[in-house]
Chains A and B, each alone.
Chain A
Amino acid sequence: MQPQRRPFFGLFLTPGVTVAFLFAAAMAMILQFSVRMQIPGSLDVGGLTLRNFTGMLHPLYARVFLDTLWLCVLTAVISLILGYPLAYALVRSRRMAVKSIILIVTVTPLFLGEVVRTYSWVVVLGNNGFINSLLMKMHVIAQPLQILFTMTGVTIVLVHVTLPVVTVMLAAALAHIDPAYEKAAESLGAGPVRVFLTVTLPLSGPGIVAGLATAFAWTFSAFATPQLIGGGKVNMISNLVYQLGFGNFNFPFAASLSVAGLALTFASIALLRLLLRPLEKVGP
C-alpha cells in the first residue's frame, strides 16, 4: 500500500463541504425568491420582477429600516459604554472572588436565549411590572410609565442582550495588553487617568471595533425582543420579514427584505471598520 500523503483529506472534508453547500443553497434560495413575483394565495412564485425592491421604498418600510439602523447603532454604543468598565474590572481586579462573580454574572445571560431574557424584561417594565409597582408604591408617580412598546424599552432590552458578548470581547482585548506599557507610562509620571486615556484605551482599540461590530450584527438579528417589547409599535426588519412570510404568505417580499437587510448589515459593518480603522491599527 502506498503511504497516503494527505491522510483523511477527502473523508474529513466532505461533511464540512456538505454543510457549506446546503447553507449556500439556502442563501441562494433567498436571492432567487427576492426577484420573483408573489402569486397571491399560493406558496409558488411567479416570474422575475424587481417590484419587491422598489416596494421597499414605501415610507412605511423606510421607517422600519431607519428604526432598525438607529436601534443597532444606539445598542452598540451603549453596550460599549456599559461594558468597558465591567470588562476592565473583570480583567484588572486582583481579587479572585470579584473576578468570578463578574464572570458568572456576565456569562450566564449569554446562554439563556432571547425568549427567557425578553420575557423577564416584560415582567420588569410592564404596566403592572416591577418598576411601575415600585415607583407607584413610593408615590413617585401616580400613573404607570409606558415603557413597553416604546423605543426606550426596546433599547434597554437590546442592550441587555448584547452587553455580555461585548463585555467578554472587550475583556479578551484588555487581557492581551502587556501591563509593561502601563507601568512604563506610570514610571514616567503619568497619572491613572492619563495612563488609561493614552495607553490602555488606544491599545484596546481592536476589541472596541470587534465589540461594536458584533453588537451591531446581534441587534440586527434580534427578533423576540422587538416583537415582544415593541409589541407592533416598534418594528425591526426581522419582525417585518416574519409578518410578511407567515402573516401575508408573501415570501418573495420577505426574501427581498432579508437581502436588503443583509446588504445593510455588511455595508454598516464595513463602514464601521473603515471609520474606526485608526483604532484598529494602534498597538504593537
Chain B
Amino acid sequence: MAQPRSARLLSLLGRLVVLAVLGFIILPALVVGIAAFNEKALLSFPPEHLSLRWFVNVFTYEDFQVGFRNGLIVTVAASSIALVAGAAFAFVLDRYSFNAKRFIEGLLLAPLVVPHFTIGLGFLILAAQVNMSRGFGVVILSHVALVLPFVLRSVHISLRNLDSKLELAAASLGARPGRVLLTVTAPLLLPGLFSGWLFAAILSFNEFTASLFVTSQQTQTLPVAMYNYVREYADPTMAALSVLYIVATATLLAIANKSLGLGKVLNVEQAR
C-alpha cells in the first residue's frame, strides 16, 4: 500500500525527533568518553594528546578505593536485608489481611516519593538522638529503607502471577507449609527475587543524596567520594571513572537483559 506523502513526511519527522532525543541522552556519555583520554589536566576539545594516566589515577586514588570498599559493604548488606524484609512482607501482603496493612505498606513505599535529602536528614537526626555512632549501621539502615520498595514491588508482582494451584497440590499431598514454601513457592519466585535484589543493589551502590547526609569520612561510599573529588579537582579522573561506570553498568544490564529480559525492569517501573 502506497502511503500518501503527508504520512511519509510525518514518519520521517518522527524518526528525526526520536534520533535527536536519543542523541541528547547519549551526548554526555560520548563527551566524557573523549575527555577521559585527554592527557592534559585541563579540559580541552579535541584532546591534543591521548593518555591513560587518569584511569591509573582512578585505581590509585585512596578515597576511591575506600569508597568502593565501603560501597560494597553497604550495598551487599542493605540489598540483602531489603531482599529478606521486602520479600517476606510481599508474601504477607499477598496472602493475609491484617490491621494497618495499607498503612505499613504505605510507609514502606513512601521513600519512592519522599525526597532523598529528607530521608537522609531524618536518619541522621534519628541516629544522633539515640546516640548511635555514625558508623555503617545508619548508612545501611537508610539504604534499606530506600531500596526496599523496589524489592517489595518486584516480589509482589511475581506472587500475584504465581499459580497457587501448585502450592495447593503440594499441600494436599501432605507437604507442611515450610516444605511448600521452600520447594514450591520460593523456586517459582526466584526470577522476581533476583531482579528485585539486582535492582536494589544497583540503586544502593549509586545512591548519593541520602548517603551524603548519613556517611562520615570513614564510611563514605563511592558516589560521595566522587562528589567530593569533583568539588576539589577539575582533572579528568572523574571522566575516567565515569567511563568505567558506564561500561560496567551497560555490561551488567546486557547480562540482565539476556537472563531476565529488560521487560522485567520495565515491569518494576510500570508498577511505581
List B contacts of A165 (CB < 8 A): 269
A113 within 8 A of B: yes
- Is B122 an interface residue, CB under 8 A from the partner? yes
Known contacts: A163-B25, A223-B212. The answer to whether A16 contacts B92 by CB under 8 A is yes
Nearest CB in chain A to that of B82: its residue: A19
Q: Is the CB of A25 within 8 A of B108?
A: no
* Contact count A vs B, C-beta below 8 Å: 263
Q: Which residues of B contact A210 (CB under 8 A)?
A: 272
Does B86 interact with chain A (Cβ within 8 Å)?
yes
A265 touches B208 (CB 8 A): no
Q: Across the interface, which residues of B come within 8 angstroms of A163, CB to CB? A: 21, 24-25
Q: Which residues of B lie under 8 Å from residue A111 when comparing CB positions?
A: 202-203, 206, 249, 252-253
For B19, the closest partner residue in chain A by CB is: A89
Within A77-103, the residues touching B (CB, 8 Å) are 82-83, 85-86, 88-89, 101-103
- Residue A275 is within 8 A (CB to CB) of chain B in the complex: no
A148-180: CB near B (< 8 Å → 1, else 0) gives 000000000000100111001101100000000
Binds B, one of A2-10, A55-63, A197-205, A276-284: A2-10
A4: contacting residue among B17, B34, B177, B241, CB under 8 A: B177
> Min CB distance, A175 to chain B, in Å?
8
Among A17, A129, A221, which residue has its beta carbon within 8 angstroms of that of B43?
A: A129
Across the interface, B28 reaches (CB within 8 A) one of A43, A85, A121, A254, namely A121
A106 contact set on B, CB distance < 8 A: 25
B57-65, B109-117, B187-195 - interface stretch: B109-117
Interface pair B85/A120, CB less than 8 Å apart:
no
Instruction: Kindly state whether residue B2 has any CB partner on chain A within 8 Å.
Output: no
In the complex, the answer to whether B85 meets A123 with C-beta atoms within 8 Å is no
- Whether a CB of chain B sits under 8 angstroms from the CB of A255 is yes
Contact A172 B269 (CB under 8 A): yes
Residues of B contacting A: mostly: helix
B209 near A86 with CB under 8 A, answer: no
B209 lies within 8 A of A114 (CB): yes
Q: Across the interface, do A18 and B88 meet the contact criterion of CB distance under 8 Å?
A: no
Please tell me if the beta carbons of B128 and A43 are within 8 angstroms of each other in the complex.
yes
Interface assignment of A33: CB less than 8 Å from any CB of chain B:
yes
Contact between chains at B226 and A119 (CB < 8 Å): yes
> Which A220-235 residues have C-beta < 8 A from chain B?
220-224, 228
> A107 contacts which of B21, B42, B125, B262 (Cβ < 8 Å)?
B262
CB contacts (< 8 Å) of A20 on chain B: these are 104, 107-108
| One of B207, B257, B270 near A172 (C-beta < 8 A) | B270
Least CB separation from A82: chain B residue: B21
Question: In the complex, what residues of B have CB within 8 A of residue A11's CB?
Answer: 88
Q: Is A74 located at the chain interface by the 8 A CB criterion? A: no
Q: Which residues of A contact B14 (CB under 8 A)?
A: 85, 88-89
Interface residues of A in 238-264 (CB under 8 A from B): 238, 241-242, 245, 251, 254-255, 258, 261-262
Size band of the B side of the interface? Answer: 35 or more
* A168: nearest chain-B partner, CB-CB: B269
Residues in chain B near residue A107, CB distance under 8 A: 253, 262, 265
Known: A23-B107, A169-B270. Is A29-B126 also a contact (CB below 8 A)? Answer: yes
CA distance A232 to B72 in the complex (A): 32
The answer to whether the Cβ of A142 comes within 8 Å of any Cβ in the partner chain is no
Q: How far is the CB of B183 from chain A (nearest CB, A)?
A: 14
The smallest C-beta distance from A272 to any residue of chain B, in angstroms, reads 12
Are B223 and A113 in contact (CB-based, < 8 A)? yes
Query: Is B18 located at the chain interface by the 8 A CB criterion?
Result: yes
Q: Which residues of B8-37 are within 8 A (CB) of A?
A: 10, 14-15, 17-18, 21-22, 24-29, 31-32, 34-35
A8 touches B21 (CB 8 A): no
B239 and A123 within 8 A (CB): yes
Q: How far is the CA of A114 from the CA of B211 in the complex (A)?
A: 12
Give Cα A191–Cα B207 distance, bound, in whole angstroms. Answer: 47
A122→B239 CA distance, assembly (Å): 10
Query: Closest CB of chain B to A101's CB: distance in Å?
Result: 8
Residue from B17, B18, B117 within 8 A of A238 (CB atoms): B117
Taking a contact as CB atoms under 8 Å apart, the answer to whether B270 and A115 are in contact is: no
- Give chain B residues whose Cβ lies under 8 Å from the Cβ of A220: 115
Do residues A9 and B202 form an inter-chain contact, with CB atoms below 8 A?
no
Evaluate whether A18 and B85 lie within 8 angstroms (CB atoms) in the complex, with A25-B126, A112-B249, A116-B226 already known.
Answer: yes
Answer whether residue A22 sits at the interface, using C-beta atoms and an 8 A cutoff. Answer: yes
Determine whether the beta carbon of B88 is less than 8 Å from that of A242.
no
Asked whether any CB of chain B lies closer than 8 Å to the CB of A140, the reply is no
User: In the complex, which residues 37-55 of chain B have their Cβ closer than 8 Å to any Cβ of chain A?
Assistant: 42-46
* 12 A–B pairs (Cβ distance < 8 Å), ordered by A: A4-B177, A8-B92, A27-B118, A102-B18, A103-B262, A114-B208, A120-B242, A128-B42, A168-B269, A172-B266, A210-B272, A245-B213
Nearest 5 Cβ contacts at the A-B interface: A16-B89, A113-B206, A26-B122, A120-B28, A7-B177
